[in-house]
Structure 1
């Protein structure tokens, strides 16, 4: 009995707290819904094309609809879910709450996140694009410099042919001193390689200028990512710089001389103009032919060496083509969601915080019902309620008694006598006899 009374006191205490909290729950829920609607308005405004008043009207209509939906949804759950008692009803309402929460996230939370961190997300996109362009520029420049390194290979081959020509001029190669047929073949190939070497050297300053200009554009793009002001205006200028940089990277890619060296190496042995043998005797001409055959073999070897060197440069993996794509604040928040977890948490919390209130109220109502147990109604009545009940019962009994009592007999009415003066004579009162005056 004592435990039952203690449980009833606990239940009354909880009911008092719930009754007090009901007075502030509605206004608090309204404030949360309005705040979410404001951030939703900012997010929607960043997505709509600016058409003047219609854009503002459309954004306001959407944000108001979101605020009303949030307020009504959580009001339903705050009233209904804590009141149900069966497990099936609770599970159904919990599933409805989960589905409604997903709908709220889809129609409001991501827009709230766009309003909270949209500009920062777009700046993150710009910074990521700068990194991609920098990697592409550096990789393209590395390939171009590797191709410029082929100049040393070409110079080495050219020098070998010049040395052979000097040996031929002194008679150490074919045994015939002078500048005959063998000498002219060696000088021919040496001149071709010298022209190729000069062409490669001319490309060097162009590669350096292109790389320096690309770094200057990258510096400007980095500055645009952190400059103050609206991110939309900066994105437009960033896009223009990105187009310039993309063209510069393409130009730098074309400055690579590796394809040129590869073609020159293939033509080194294939395009040989053999002069007439100018030996004075058949033996001399035979020696010249043998020497020219040896020279052709050396040409083939040197050509194969240059071809392999050029193919190694051509086999270097080219950077992926980088293209800057303008992005809205909402899309940027979704694309870089992992970098803005606090903003996403705040945007979702402002919409789904009432779910915690629903659970708290459900637990509290369960505790109230558990504290009451199997108590009867009269066991839960306070003294004031008991007094009011007793007074009401007595009034009910009195009304019933009056309705059941027989009607009272009518009193006799004393006759009235007219006076001599024609007036009305009052009936005699007790204790007064006729003829007795005052």
Structure 2
């Protein structure tokens, strides 16, 4: 992509409405634009990052055996009346009526709808276990939306729902998602700490939040310090191994963690003083096991091996991609801008032409741009006639992991400079070596 043809409305000044670093940098880098309170458009640069985040989430859900579908954003109130949550959910739910005066709602979550899909299609235990997920926009009318897409009213959610014949099977499904979440956040360049948590309006009695440590976080974290450096499950983890996944779950939970809402001081105090960690963090994922809370009132049952009908045991598992993007920025930035992990960066490398219009510089940049693009790299080519300082500021602000800088003097010697955005390290190398650095 040539920068001269890309839509990226950079802001030179810090927006007054931005209270935290991620909101400020997302606005300045032209990633998002506010349309109304708590509702944002994702502009091209932001959407590229969001899509890469979603792709990693999708890959790890598929690896764990979940199956993707797509459910509508608007839901019938009848389903929520069946479950008993329509009146209980509160003012966060946006309630509307269609032209036939039928009560509808803009879905804040999908337990009822997925249960309806399940009960109309699955009748036998032989079709279990089953885990269905989708990645979709949702709406919750937050009383105080703030921090940009960190706490917005309209947001994107990956929500998965598991169905099992027994509690034991449901716990294995829970451990699958627990393990998949650890892998997902690690691939996003984040260390997410799983915290024992309150189940809230979702219901149930087993729940974990996944927290990214950040000073701007709204959650308080109390846990063993080893949580920050614990081993992440490998790519070849056997998700069918009940004992293997239980072992992963037990290793994490044996160190004990709880959110501040649980007020479990005795458990935290049992950790030796030098091994305690108390900090603030951002919730980026939440998983629940709630048994038959929805299957019983909504009649979601299957015939078991004993010939009798059984209400299925369910769990739900959420990750907020539109919250993850600012969380990554909160965890990875400096005074010049964003520092993206390579896995989610909007571009792999930016080629900076220091003297657009100069035949040698133009030719070198075109050569590098073509070679890297042909090799499958996502390349941004700064072919603008801006001043050098502006070009460097833009590249640093948007956080592309590597910069290839082509100036007249270096090009005359058959060389370019390669800069690592994260470390700031610069290396002069031949043009061929620079190309091979990224395609080898």
Scaled to the shorter chain, the TM-score interval is under 0.3
Higher relative contact order (CA 8 A, sep 6+): 1
- The structure in which a higher percent of residues are helix is 1
Mark the structure with the bigger radius of gyration.
Answer: 1
- The structure in which a higher percent of residues are strand is 2
Q: TM-score, normalised by structure 2?
A: 0.18
Q: TM-score, normalised by structure 1?
A: 0.18
